[in-house]
Amino acid sequence: MVKAKRTLEAVETHSGEPMRVVTGGLPDIPGDSVYEKTKWLAKHDDQIRKLMLREPRGYAPLCCNLIVPSKKAAAGFIVMEQTEYPMMSGGNVISVATALLETGKIPMQEPVTKFDLESPAGLIGITAECHDGKVTQVTFKNVPAFAVYLDEEIDVPHLGKVKVDVAWGGMFYVIADIRQFQKRGMDIELKPEYGRQIAKVLALVLGAAQEQLPVSHPDYPGVGITIAELSGPTDNPNADWKNEVLVANGKIDFDDPATWTGSLDRCPCGTGTCAKMAALYAKGELKLNEPFRHENALGIVYTGKLTGTAKIGDHVAVIPTVGGESWITGFSKWILDESDPFTNGYTMGDIWSSEVMEDDANTDVKH
C-alpha cells in the first residue's frame, strides 16, 4: 500500500492549452474570498502549484485550477501557472465550467445552464450551452477590461523600437502587431512552426515593457505586466484577428539568450482576447456589441463581445464576454509518495527557464 503525503484528484481538460482542474484532495484554504484564498496559498502552501505543474506530474505549458468553496458563487477557482497565480484566465474559466458541469459537480440544465464562478479577480458569469450531457460552448462575462497605453513606442534590446498597446483583460498584456516585424524583413508568422521566433520576440517585448511601461490596477496592488501578445490579421473567413500569447517562465535577461523564451498559449487566450478588445475599443476600431472572433496559431477561435462600459479608477473600461469550447481528456489521481524526495516536483534546463530552476534549487529536496 502506497503511503502518500498528498492525494489530489483532477479532471484533465484542454482548449488547445492543457488545463488541469483539481476537484478533490485539497486542504482547507483560509480566506473569505477566492482572492484571499489565493494570497494565503501563495504564501503558505505553494507546494500544490509546483507539484501539479512541474515534472513529473506537469510540464511547461500546463495550467492548473483548484476548485474551492465560494460564499458568492456556485464554486470558486484558483488559477495557477508556472510563475504566478493570475487574477483571471479565460481559457481556464471555460475548462473549469466544462469540467464542473460534465462531471455533475454543478447540475447541468439543457439547453443552457447559467451560474457564477468566483475567480481571484471577482465574480465571472457563466452561460453554458449543453446538449446530451456535453458542454458545447461556454461564454463568460469577465471583469471590466481597459487600455492603459495605445501605440506606445518602446526600446526593445535586439529588436529596436517597437509600438505596443498595454491593456488589462484580467491580467496586464503588452500587445504588439506582428506586421511591424515583417516589414523589417523578419521571417515570422502566427503559425505553430514559427513558435521559437514568436516566443523570442514576445519575451524581449515583455521584458522591455515591464521596465518601461508602469501599470497599476486599483483593486490588485502590485500586479504588473506579465503576459505578451503578438497580433495580426488572419485569412480565416471565420475569424477577425489572429494572436499568439507568451506565458513567460521566468525573468527576461537581455544579456542571456536562454531567457528569451517561454510557453506559448495553446488556446486563443480569453483574458488576452478581452485585453485586445479593450485596446481596439479605445482606438475606435471595435464597437459595443460587435462580435470579435479571435483565432490562435492552432486555428482555434474564441468569440468575444463588449456589452457595456464601466469605470475602473481613472480608466474608462468595457465589459467583455468571451465564448469558447473545452474538452475533457481524462481523469487523474495524483499522489506525493512519502518517500519521494522531489516534494515540489523538478525541472530540467532543456525546456525550463533558469528562473524556475533557481526557484526549485531553493526548495528543500533531499536526495
Burial category of 40 from C-beta neighbours within 10 Å (exposed 0-12, middle 13-18, buried 19 and up): middle
| Nearest residue to 128 (alpha-carbon basis) of 145, 112, 151 | 112
Contacts of 100 by beta carbon, 8 Å cutoff, 6+ apart? 21, 23, 67, 74, 75, 106
Cell of 26: 485539497
Question: What is the phi/psi pair of residue 118, to 5°?
Answer: -105, 120
**DSSP three-state, residue 357:** helix
Residue 67: how many other CB atoms lie within 10 Å: 21
| Nearest residue to 312 (alpha-carbon basis) of 210, 212, 171, 168 | 168
CA distances from 173 to 1, 29, 225, 336 (A): 48, 29, 6, 35
| Nearest residue to 244 (alpha-carbon basis) of 184, 197, 187, 306 | 197
Residue with cell 461564454: 139
Rounded to whole angstroms, the Cα distance separating 81 from 249 reads 9
Annotated active-site positions, please? Answer: 89
Cell of 240: 477577425
